[in-house]
Structure 1
Amino acid sequence: MNRSSRLGAWLLTLLFMFGSGSTMAKTPPDQLIIGMNMNNLLTLDPAAMTGNEVVGLVVNLYDSLVELDPAKLTNVRPALAKSWEVSEDGNRLTFHLRDGVKFHSGNSLTADDVVWSMRRILHLNLAQASVWKSYGFSKKNVDEHVKALDSSTVEITLPKANDPQLVIYSLAALGSVVVLDSKTVEQHVQNDDWGNRWLTTNEAGSGPFSLEVWQAKDVLRMQRNPEYWRGEPKLARVVFRHFQESQTLRLMIAKGDLDIASNMAVSDVNALRKDPDMTVDAVKKGTIYYVAMSMKEPHFANPKVREAVRYLIDYQGINKALMPGYGVLHQRPIQSGMPATLPNPGYSLDIPRAKKLLAEAGYPDGFDTTLRVLADQPFLNIAIAVQSTLMQAGINAKIVTGTGNQIYGAMRERKFDMLVGRGGSGVEPHPHSSLRSLVYNPDNSDAARLTNFQGWRTSFYDKTLNQQIDNALVERDPAKQLAEYQAIQTRYDELIPALLPLSQMVDSVVVRKEVQNYQPHPSATTFLRDVYKTPAENGENKG
């Protein structure tokens, strides 16, 4: 046990020795205090963000054209756009903005800001550009396809055939096409960076809260926007605090020093389930835990080696022992719960089969490699389990831990061997959402920089598979589309992919009963604008 773990255990012991009862701390009634792990919080720039943690922050600082109903993801709700239409041919989307919306600066929000925000994503070509490039948008054609017809009307013409409903889902769910205050951002441009450096630690939104301060791996504070167009939020301030240790989070929320705690270990979440002052909100998300291999690395360019790794993962053991509260067994690239998703193929640990495959590949004695992983749970425990079973077939994987930037950064640069990670979008209620993130790779060149696509990161490329994904997206016959998505999953398995799904994410958040109207969003876009707190003695559990 390391020093911080011993400290957390000691503090937890003190809590239970002396109890919390009458001496319980109280967070301010008009402030929401949220404990979380901020290791993967690297930027507040919507165009550059990666990971679920930052999405939950961005959607409370900015507004989007439309949003997804957390209770029913296929229900698209108006936001900055009060209404919209899709042309009969499905190639043109027209959004009508509501009047009187102001940015935090006091500037009026217009259609020009919407267009500028979209242009910015494509010109910067950072993480969030990948989705829009897959739809055919580029910095060369965005001016032609995204236009302000007047101050309150935005027209988006799709560059290539697509499912317009998926595009609307993306506008609603990704958090990337939030609308930025173009006048404010342009004042902070350095060397044609579209304000990227400034927006890393600042914001220029119109959302219910404005950024007060962000100190990396310490604290982020938002304050109420009294001029918010939906009405003044009930909370004066939302404070996000960084905690590395799950035991510390458990201590803090049990004492009443936190209102909400996320990123906690399963054992701590389960212990808090028994506390009548707490509610545990468990939400299944479309994100997939996986083991990835780089096909730029000569060992993993060999399909027999990738197949051997497929049989060197104890999927069932990992999900039973390590994933309760974090995820559920899932071995398909399309998230579960959709009509198109095939049943799990049933892969399991098979050491003799893996050894035979390695021998056929020319590695009868195995080889040495590295396995990158976040220094957080459940990732680290998954990596240790995988390391152990790889070793049984002679693959000696040295575990390399680090922050999100160190681990996923290496993956985005295609400079890794193996990696335990989590991804797959899945935020839009459509099979393409998962495939786009985990499988699709229309341009395998290094110059393409499709950094938000796991297929590109792993250098996994198959022309036929890409074409199948493109065809399924625009198929209008539901039965044919269903069959095409199932055929994609079958081919993906047959190709021995470089990314092996092992579990689908479950997000467990512990919430004190005083907190009302808090609803964790399956797409990570959790809105805090309607959240408020009632006195503990009168608070009712929100279920």
Structure 2
Amino acid sequence: MNTGNLAGAWLFALLLMFSGGAAQAKTPPDQLIIGMNMNNLLTLDPAAMTGNEVVGIVVNLYDSLIELDPNQLTHVRPALATSWQVNSDDNLLTFQLRQGVTFHSGNPLTAEDVVWSMRRILHLNLAQASVWKSYGFTKENVDQMVRASGPYTVEIELPKANDPKLVLYSLAALGSGSVLDSKTVQSHEKNGDWGNKWLATNEAGSGPFRLDTWQAKDVLRISRNPDYWRGEPKLSRVVFRHFQESQTLRLMVEKGDLDIASNMAVSDINALRQDPDVTVDAVKKGTIYYVAMSMKESHFADAKVREAVRYLIDYQGINKALMPGYGILHQRPIQSGMPATLPNPDYKLDIARAKALLAEAGYPDGFDTTLRVLADQPFLNIAIAVQSTLMQAGIRAKIVTGTGNQIYGAMRERRFDMLVGRGGSGVEPHPHSSLRALVYNPNNSDAARLTNFQGWRTSFYDPQLNSQIDGALLERDAAKQQQDYYAIQQRYDALIPALIPLSQMVDSVVVRNDVHDYQPHPSATTFLRDVYKSAPADGGNTP
């Protein structure tokens, strides 16, 4: 742990004790104050965003065509689209838009804005383009495939055979389906960037809240949109504050200076479970914690070395000691809880077996490498545990820490050796969601830039596996499709992949009991439009 940050946390605690007296602080009754780690919050552009943290902000600034019900993820709810149809050939989706919706600028929202927003994703070819490219969309065909057939009618034609249900899930869950105010964004375009630079720190949405300010790694404030089409939100403002140290988050929740806190250490979460004034919401998500290797690196291009690494991870120890509150043991690329998911293969730490594999690969004395990881928990503790067990077989891994841009940026550029990370989408309630993000790699060339696919990032490429994934997606017989997904997982396992799943994410959020209708969403699209707070019993602060 960073001792400077730890000292800062204790200093902050002392300041709270001596400046606040015995009375507990109260946040304003019409404002929600959320504490979180913003290290991986890099841009607010829906086409470029990566990570769960930004999704939870973007979905409150923008609207999408449709949404997923947090209580039943397979239930698609209307949003900007009041209705939709899929044709008999399963290759054309038609959406009827809600009329009378305005953007924060006052501009009316029409089908042209929806079309422009989707086309922008493919033309920019940034992080969120990967999903749509997997459906066959390209910057060359998107202008023909996504079109307005009327002022409030949008048609999305699928370029290749697909499961339209999955496409609907993607529109609802990824956040990349956010509809942008095309006129406003185009007015801020610079050198053909589709407004990307401006949207990194600004917004052009129609959502329940407007962006007031964002100071990176400090504070982000959004305020109520009084003209929101669903009705005025109950909160006047939501403030997201950056905290690196879990102890500081815990102290501020206990004092009442924060209403909600996430990204906390297990010890602090467990301590707060005993606090009668707060509730801990634990939501299992489809995202997977993993150890990744780059097959561009000569050591890890060898399947025997990758297999040795597979036996140099203490899965059971890591999940028992480090992951409560963060994740649960999981060793498959498809998230747990789905009928298509095979039982865990039950890999365990086996130093002797790993040493034998390294010797067969020509590395009896091991080798030197680097292990990249975010300077946050639980990632750093996982990396330290993995470093320790790698060392027992002679693999000397130097840990390299950094921000999300530094760590995942190197992975997106395919310039890394090993990495402890978290990914896998899993936000759509369909096996393909996880496979697309963790396994699928239809084009292994550097020029393909499939940066949101972990398979591409690690240079893991198997044409047969890609074909199996494509085929399973199109299979309409449920029993046959389930068998197809079993076969995919078995082949993935046999190929000794470059990405080793070790835990499935659990998102533990601490919420004070005077906050109502806050429902953490399994796909990270947590809506704040209906959240409100109880009036202080003592008459406390006023708005």
State the 1:9 CA deviation.
3.7
Q: Is 1:5 paired with 2:6?
A: yes
State the 1:129 CA deviation.
0.1
1:121 match:
121
State how far apart, in whole Å, the 1-side matches of 2:430 and 2:236 are: 36
CA contact (8 A) 1:212 1:221 kept: yes
State how far apart, in whole Å, the 2-side matches of 1:21 and 1:163 are: 60
1:477 match:
477
Q: Is 1:499 paired with 2:502?
A: no
Amino acid at match of 2:166: L
State how far apart, in whole Å, the 1-side matches of 2:321 and 2:21 are: 33
Q: CA RMSD in A?
A: 1.4
State the 1:22 CA deviation.
5.2
State the 1:233 CA deviation.
0.3
State the 1:410 CA deviation.
0.1
- Output one character per residue of 1:266-295: Cα deviation in whole Å (capped at 9) or x when no partner: 100110010010000000000000000000
State how far apart, in whole Å, the 2-side matches of 1:496 and 1:129 are: 28
- For 1:130-279, list aligned pairs within 5 A: 130-279=130-279
- Three-state SS of the structure 1 residue aligned to 2:464 is helix
State the 1:143 CA deviation.
1.4
State how far apart, in whole Å, the 1-side matches of 2:26 and 2:237 are: 15
State how far apart, in whole Å, the 2-side matches of 1:147 and 1:333 are: 35
State how far apart, in whole Å, the 2-side matches of 1:537 and 1:372 are: 49
1:508 match:
508
- Three-state SS of the structure 1 residue aligned to 2:59 is helix
State how far apart, in whole Å, the 1-side matches of 2:340 and 2:19 are: 51
2:51 match:
51
- For 1:4-403, list aligned pairs within 5 A: 4-9=5-10, 11-12=12-13, 23-403=23-403
**Structure 1 residues 390 and 147 mapped into 2: Cα distance closer, same or farther (>3 Å)?**
same
- Three-state SS of the structure 2 residue aligned to 1:301 is coil
- Three-state SS of the structure 1 residue aligned to 2:429 is coil
Amino acid at match of 2:253: I
State how far apart, in whole Å, the 2-side matches of 1:372 and 1:26 are: 40
Amino acid at match of 1:92: L
Amino acid at match of 1:76: V
1:428 match:
428
State how far apart, in whole Å, the 2-side matches of 1:370 and 1:537 are: 54
**Structure 1 residues 9 and 243 mapped into 2: Cα distance closer, same or farther (>3 Å)?**
same
**Structure 1 residues 98 and 348 mapped into 2: Cα distance closer, same or farther (>3 Å)?**
same
Amino acid at match of 2:43: T
**Structure 1 residues 162 and 98 mapped into 2: Cα distance closer, same or farther (>3 Å)?**
same
Amino acid at match of 2:5: S
State how far apart, in whole Å, the 1-side matches of 2:262 and 2:71 are: 20
CA contact (8 A) 1:20 1:254 kept: no
Q: Which runs of 5+ in 1 are unaligned?
A: none
Amino acid at match of 2:167: V
- Three-state SS of the structure 2 residue aligned to 1:191 is coil
CA contact (8 A) 2:29 2:536 kept: no
- Three-state SS of the structure 2 residue aligned to 1:133 is helix
Amino acid at match of 1:469: I
Amino acid at match of 1:328: I
State the 1:8 CA deviation.
1.8
TM-score w.r.t. the length of structure 2 is: 0.98
2:468 match:
468
State how far apart, in whole Å, the 2-side matches of 1:264 and 1:429 are: 27
State how far apart, in whole Å, the 1-side matches of 2:256 and 2:480 are: 54
Amino acid at match of 2:44: L
State how far apart, in whole Å, the 2-side matches of 1:12 and 1:391 are: 38
State how far apart, in whole Å, the 1-side matches of 2:429 and 2:14 are: 44
CA contact (8 A) 2:113 2:181 kept: yes
State how far apart, in whole Å, the 2-side matches of 1:19 and 1:325 are: 32
State the 1:19 CA deviation.
12
State the 1:196 CA deviation.
0.2
State how far apart, in whole Å, the 2-side matches of 1:386 and 1:51 are: 23
State the 1:4 CA deviation.
1.5
1:412 match:
412
1:442 match:
442
- Three-state SS of the structure 2 residue aligned to 1:250 is helix
CA contact (8 A) 1:273 1:280 kept: yes
CA contact (8 A) 1:20 1:255 kept: no
CA contact (8 A) 2:32 2:259 kept: yes
State the 1:515 CA deviation.
0.4
- Output one character per residue of 1:457-493: Cα deviation in whole Å (capped at 9) or x when no partner: 0000000000000000000000110000010000000
Percentage of matched positions with identical amino acids: 81
Amino acid at match of 2:61: L
Amino acid at match of 1:204: A
State how far apart, in whole Å, the 1-side matches of 2:414 and 2:536 are: 50
State how far apart, in whole Å, the 2-side matches of 1:403 and 1:383 are: 15
- Three-state SS of the structure 2 residue aligned to 1:356 is helix
More displaced stretch, 529-538 vs 337-346: 529-538
Amino acid at match of 1:4: N
State how far apart, in whole Å, the 2-side matches of 1:274 and 1:538 are: 23
- Three-state SS of the structure 1 residue aligned to 2:269 is helix
- Output one character per residue of 1:221-243: Cα deviation in whole Å (capped at 9) or x when no partner: 00100000000001000000000
- Output one character per residue of 1:176-202: Cα deviation in whole Å (capped at 9) or x when no partner: 010000000000000000000000000
State how far apart, in whole Å, the 1-side matches of 2:494 and 2:14 are: 52
State the 1:3 CA deviation.
1.9
- Output one character per residue of 1:99-125: Cα deviation in whole Å (capped at 9) or x when no partner: 100000000000000000000000000
State how far apart, in whole Å, the 1-side matches of 2:535 and 2:112 are: 44
State the 1:537 CA deviation.
3.6
- Output one character per residue of 1:329-348: Cα deviation in whole Å (capped at 9) or x when no partner: 00000000000000000000
State the 1:454 CA deviation.
0.1
State the 1:7 CA deviation.
3.0
Q: Which runs of 5+ in 2 are unaligned?
A: none
State how far apart, in whole Å, the 2-side matches of 1:166 and 1:27 are: 41
State how far apart, in whole Å, the 1-side matches of 2:71 and 2:536 are: 26
CA contact (8 A) 2:295 2:498 kept: yes
Amino acid at match of 2:450: L
CA contact (8 A) 1:513 1:536 kept: no
**Structure 1 residues 160 and 245 mapped into 2: Cα distance closer, same or farther (>3 Å)?**
same
CA contact (8 A) 1:122 1:138 kept: yes
**Structure 1 residues 197 and 18 mapped into 2: Cα distance closer, same or farther (>3 Å)?**
closer
Amino acid at match of 2:171: L
CA contact (8 A) 1:111 1:152 kept: yes
CA contact (8 A) 2:233 2:530 kept: yes
